[in-house]
């Protein structure tokens, strides 16, 4: 199960996503309502330098 699948299934929250899924999540929401001002922790996680 991918992080995005776990998110959709209600097992995790956006703060639990791995770097690749964080990037996909941010890109998807930016496509809908963006560009959004993302918290620095989302940027760190997307770069792989924050805690998943």
The total number of structural domains that make up the chain: 1
Residue 32 lies in domain: 3-47
Nearest to 25 by CA among 38, 34, 14: 14
**Confidence check: pLDDT of 39 > 90:** yes
- Only one residue has tokens 């209600």, namely 10
Can you give the pTM of this predicted structure? 0.82
Summary mean pLDDT of the chain: 90
**Confidence check: pLDDT of 51 > 70:** no
* Residue 52 domain-assigned (yes or no): no
Q: What does the alpha-carbon distance between residue 4 and residue 13 come to, in Å, rounded to a whole number?
A: 9
**Confidence check: pLDDT of 17 > 90:** yes
* Residue 9 domain-assigned (yes or no): yes
């Amino acid at each position: 199960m991918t992080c995005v699948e776990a998110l959709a299934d209600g097992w995790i929250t956006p703060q639990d996503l791995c770097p690749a899924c964080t990037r996909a999540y941010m890109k998807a929401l930016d496509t809908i309502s963006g560009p959004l001002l993302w918290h620095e922790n989302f940027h760190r996680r997307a770069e792989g330098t924050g805690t998943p």
